[in-house]
Amino acid sequence: MSLEARRFLALHLPDFATDRMHRAESDLRFDEPLAIWVKEGPRRIVVAVNAAAAEAGLRPGQALADVQAIAPSLSLRPADFAGDARMLHRLALWARRFTPLAAVDPPDGLLLDITGCAHLLGGEAGLMQDALARLRRAGFAVRGAVAGAAATAGALARARSDAPIVVNGAEAVNVGPLPLGLALRLDADLALTLARLGMRRVGDLQALSRASLARRFGVELLHRLDAVTGQRREAMHPIQPLPELAVTQDLAEPVVTRAGIEAMLDRLLEALGDKLREAGRGARQVTLLAWRMDGEVQEVAVRAGQPTRTAAHLRYLFRDRLEGLEPGLGFERMALEARATDPMATGLQTVLA
């Protein structure tokens, strides 16, 4: 990572589990109550509700029998945490359209390192609004925030709905008013204990003796406090490592045909070859990424026995792999990533190709 000041975009999907269920089952209506439940010992507990169920007075944590009594027409589905995790991973892959450094923030969020990327969409506000709009069109409720610390952005996205953008160094001031349990992701028992002691906001903890807090509640509470106030940097774990070199192309019109895909691949191969030559390197592994109109991201990867950078050689490697792409309504964005490269002397390629 560079020593450049980092900037992070957090995307919080407050109704993720129910939104995913609506996407999976088209017969479920958004204006009808839906609840997702899990079995805890002998009890069945609600863990998520959609907006219609919330309006009817249902809340996570209620017993299944109670919510059925409140809303007899309620649709019920068992929790599918593995399915949720798979969808969150797919969304993180999709989010790589904005930055190569995208990560899941379980159970219902995404985290993007947008350092140096925002200018491509008119600044941080433009990038965030584009991401929010695309997710909403895909059927997800979503909130966002940008800050210089990942935990700060995440806390703001979970607690605020106004899409705040916080400049580096102002993290502590901006998280001070946030609800403590939500911002620090505290378990319900600890949040209740702190509330009974008069600590309901992040700022309430900031005003207290750190030694006293550590003695009474443990050092983990301080670690979480320091993370959201920007005093402690937490490692981000992107779903894909940063590619060594990459080129990207947004498409004015969706590409559907094999001929169109090949034409776009040719343009990307030429551009990637130029970058490889400038860097004095050859590619050992190259991945083609294609973003579909419906948000699905598809990948095709090739490997070379020796470092390569000529378009003709790489095109030959991709030739039979393109059959695996399924454009559906069309690809709206394509990229090539050189995920493994080696030093390569000028002129060597003519011997290998």
Q: Is residue 262 part of a domain?
A: yes
Beta bridge pairs of residue 245: 338
Looking at the structure, tell me whether residues 223 and 249 fall in a common domain: no
Looking at the structure, tell me whether residues 214 and 117 fall in a common domain: no
Task: Determine what percent of the chain is predicted with pLDDT higher than 70.
Answer: 97
Looking at the structure, tell me whether residues 52 and 104 fall in a common domain: yes
- Rounded to an integer, what distance in angstroms lies between the CA atom of residue 42 and that of residue 273? 61
Contacts of 156 (CB under 8 A, 6+ apart): 10, 145, 147, 164, 166, 174, 175, 178
pLDDT band at 345; cut points 50, 70, 90: confident
Of the listed ranges 80-84, 119-123, 129-133, the least confidently predicted one is 119-123
Gyration radius of the chain over CA positions: 24
Q: Is residue 167 part of a domain?
A: no
- Rounded to an integer, what distance in angstroms lies between the CA atom of residue 96 and that of residue 232? 26
pLDDT at 2: 41
Q: Is the torsion defined by CA of 124, 127, 129, 131 positive or negative?
A: negative
- Rounded to an integer, what distance in angstroms lies between the CA atom of residue 338 and that of residue 302? 10
pLDDT band at 120; cut points 50, 70, 90: confident
- Rounded to an integer, what distance in angstroms lies between the CA atom of residue 280 and that of residue 338? 13
pLDDT at 350: 45
pLDDT digits (tens, 9 = 90+) for 209-219: 999 999 999 99
Residue 314, domain CATH: 3.30.1490.100
Domain count, the chain: 3
Q: Is residue 338 part of a domain?
A: yes
pLDDT at 119: 86
pLDDT band at 13; cut points 50, 70, 90: very high
Query: Is residue 276 predicted with pLDDT exceeding 60?
Result: yes
Looking at the structure, tell me whether residues 208 and 307 fall in a common domain: no
Q: Which structural domain range is residue 267 located in?
A: 245-352
Looking at the structure, tell me whether residues 258 and 192 fall in a common domain: no
Reply yes or no: is the peptide bond before residue 107 cis, omega within 30 of 0: yes
pLDDT digits (tens, 9 = 90+) for 181-218: 999 999 999 999 999 999 999 999 999 999 999 999 99
Looking at the structure, tell me whether residues 53 and 87 fall in a common domain: yes
Looking at the structure, tell me whether residues 180 and 82 fall in a common domain: no
Looking at the structure, tell me whether residues 250 and 222 fall in a common domain: no
Cβ atoms within 10 Å, residue 52: 18
pLDDT digits (tens, 9 = 90+) for 63-117: 999 999 999 999 999 999 999 999 999 999 999 999 999 999 999 999 999 999 9
As a whole number, mean pLDDT of residues 117-144 equals: 94
Query: Is residue 348 predicted with pLDDT exceeding 70?
Result: no
Looking at the structure, tell me whether residues 56 and 192 fall in a common domain: no
Query: Is residue 1 predicted with pLDDT exceeding 70?
Result: no
Q: Is residue 48 part of a domain?
A: yes
Tokens of 181: 């349990």
Q: Is residue 164 part of a domain?
A: no
- In degrees to the nearest 10, what's the CA dihedral of 125, 128, 134, 136? -100
Looking at the structure, tell me whether residues 95 and 217 fall in a common domain: no
- Rounded to an integer, what distance in angstroms lies between the CA atom of residue 244 and that of residue 2? 14
pLDDT at 235: 87
Number of residues written out for the chain: 353
Q: Say whether 327 sits in a helix, a strand or coil.
A: coil
As a whole number, mean pLDDT of residues 240-256 equals: 93
Look over the chain and give the mean of its residue pLDDT values, rounded to a whole number. 93
Residue 279 CA from chain centroid, whole number:
30
Looking at the structure, tell me whether residues 210 and 249 fall in a common domain: no
Q: Is residue 42 part of a domain?
A: yes
Task: Determine what percent of the chain is predicted with pLDDT higher than 90.
Answer: 92
pLDDT band at 347; cut points 50, 70, 90: low
Which residue in 140, 180, 139, 130 sits closest to 159, CA to CA?
180
Looking at the structure, tell me whether residues 252 and 302 fall in a common domain: yes
Q: Is residue 100 part of a domain?
A: yes
Query: Is residue 300 predicted with pLDDT exceeding 80?
Result: yes
